[in-house]
Chain A
Amino acid sequence: MTAAALATEAEAVVSAPHGRRASPIAYLVAAVCIAVIAIMGAPMALSFLASIKTPADASAAPPRYLPQALSFGNYDKVIHYEAGLATYLANSAFVAFLTIAACIVLAAPAGYGLARFAIRGKEIAFLVLLAPIMIPYQAILTPLYLDFAKVGLVNSHVGLAIVHTILQLPFSIYLMRNSFEAIPREIEEAAMIDGCSAWRRLLHVFLPLAVPAIVTVALFAFINSWNEFLAALIFMSREASFTVPILLVSVRIGRHGAVDWGALQASVIISIIPCLAVYLALQRYYISGLISGAVK
Chain B
Amino acid sequence: MPRARSLERWQGWLFVAPALVFVAVFVLAPLGQLVAMSLTDRSLLGGGKFVGFENYLRIWRDSGFWRALLFTGKYTLVLTPILMGLGFALALLTVDNTPLKRITRTIVFLPVVIGLSSSSLLWFWLLDEQVGLFNKLLVDLHLIREPIVWFVTADLAFWAVVISITWKVVGFGMVLFVSGIQSINPDILEAAVMDGAGYWSRVRLIILPLSRRVLLLTTLVSAIGSILAFDQFYIMTSGGPRGQTFTAVYWIYQNSFVSFRLGYGAALSIVLTLIILIFSTTQIAIAARTAET
Contact = CB atoms under 8 A, between A and B. Distances in A.
Nearest to B14: A113
Interface stretch (A42-50, A81-89, A207-215): A42-50
Contacts of B29: 143
A63 interface: yes
A9 B186 contact: yes
A270 to B, nearest CB: 9
A139 B272 contact: yes
Interface string B124-145: 1110101111001000000000
Interface in B74-119: 90, 92-98, 100-101, 103-104, 106-108, 110-111, 113-118
B50 interface: no
A136 B278 CA distance: 12
A265 B122 contact: yes
A225 to B, nearest CB: 10
Interface residues on B, range: 35 or more
Contacts of A59: 131
B59 interface: no
Contacts of A105: 18
Q: Which of B100, B125, B190, B270 has the most CB of A within 10 A?
A: B125
B24 A223 contact: no
Contact of A140 (B12, B27, B175): B27
Contact of A60 (B131, B189, B228): B131
Nearest to A59: B131
Nearest to A9: B186
B230 A230 contact: yes
Contact of A142 (B8, B262, B276): B262
A190 interface: no
A251 to B, nearest CB: 9
A98 interface: no
Contact of A109 (B18, B26, B199, B214): B18
A10 B249 contact: no
A37 B99 CA distance: 13
A139 B270 contact: yes
Contacts of A283: 106
B90 A36 contact: yes
Contacts of B228: 136, 138
Contacts of B252: 138-139
B63 interface: no
A94 interface: no
A14 B111 contact: no
Contact of A10 (B37, B96, B262, B284): B96
B115 A11 contact: no
A244 B182 CA distance: 38
B186 A6 contact: yes
Contacts of B97: 7-8, 10-11
B152 interface: no
B236 to A, nearest CB: 11
- Nearest first, the 7 A-B pairs at minimum CB distance are A117-B12, A113-B15, A227-B115, A9-B186, A110-B19, A139-B269, A143-B33
12 contacts: A37-B104, A107-B19, A128-B24, A134-B277, A134-B281, A138-B228, A227-B116, A227-B118, A229-B230, A230-B249, A271-B118, A291-B175
